[in-house]
Amino acid sequence: MTLFRSAAMLVSLVLVPLTVTAAPPPEPTVEYSADSTMETEGGMTMKSRVYHTPTKQRMEMGGADGSVTIIRKDKKVVWQVMGDMYMEMPLDQSNAPDMGGFDIQEQTEVGEETVNGLKTTKTKIIATKPDGSKFGGFFWTTKEGVTVKMDLLSKDGDKKMRMASELTNVKIEKQNPALFEVPAGATKNDMGAMMGQGGMPNLDEMMKNAGQERAKEKRSSRSNSGSKSQESETPAAEVNKMLKGLFGR
């Protein structure tokens, strides 16, 4: 499992909630919209606008010239929209990358915390596969099931990938049904070159091509300060600390 495929596995938790026994996060019971920021240890940042109902999801990335992913669980279909074109694919849970075979080893409530103005319950999760790979982290979830924050880590041998995700500007309110439909006049097209194996978005490419804003900010910060000592911890140190806390090593 490559680092980017590990990242794709973690991204899939946000894009397509999986049918795995006892697996977090719980399904939200309310409709809401929010701004989402997802970061990986390599300095990659993906920002998106998300809209959610119990049976429909929409994620906008890249602004006006970017892409839109619409997930319709009620119709068992996913639409990937780019400009005036779109691709339709079946919502087959088995297509979600790298999640099959994980067995939940631990799921523990850590405590109550307020995140971005919302009261949440922090939960620790650890899962393993028969091949020894591990997945774990923390979820901060509201009583309505909205996961406001995630801090996740996958480990496969000596390879590890960390991802953090957070929602801001969360508004729990009724969503416009039109947000979850293909735009009028859009042309159905075969965008296979832009898609990953199994019909899901090519998440490896999304991660590689995502705006590396965090890396740029760090370089700018270093330039202004003239010293690397201003940074509290390197990404590797942060990951190793999380590994020790989650897996005991």
In this predicted structure, which of 146-150, 177-181, 241-245 has the lowest mean pLDDT? 241-245
Give phi and psi for 203, each to the nearest 5.
-70, -30
Q: What are the residue boundaries of the structural domains of the chain, listed by start?
A: 3-100+158-247
* First vs last C-alpha separation in the chain: 20
Backbone angles phi, psi at 177, to 5 degrees: -55, -25
Mean pLDDT of the chain: 74
From the list 47, 48, 41, 17, the residue with the least C-alpha distance to 155 is 41
106-115, 186-195, 240-249: segment of lowest average pLDDT = 240-249
Q: Which residue has the tokens 């999760």?
A: 125
- The structure tokens listed for 212 are 């590396």
Q: Which CATH number does the domain 3-100+158-247 belong to among 2.60.120, 2.50.20, 2.60.40, 3.40.50?
A: 2.50.20
Q: Is the pLDDT of residue 117 over 90?
A: yes
Q: Over range 186-214, report the average pLDDT.
A: 53
Q: Which two tokens stand for residue 186?
A: 């859009």
Q: What percent of the chain has pLDDT over 90?
A: 40
Maximum average pLDDT range among 44-48, 128-132, 158-162, 175-179: 175-179
Overall pTM surpassing 0.75 (yes/no): no
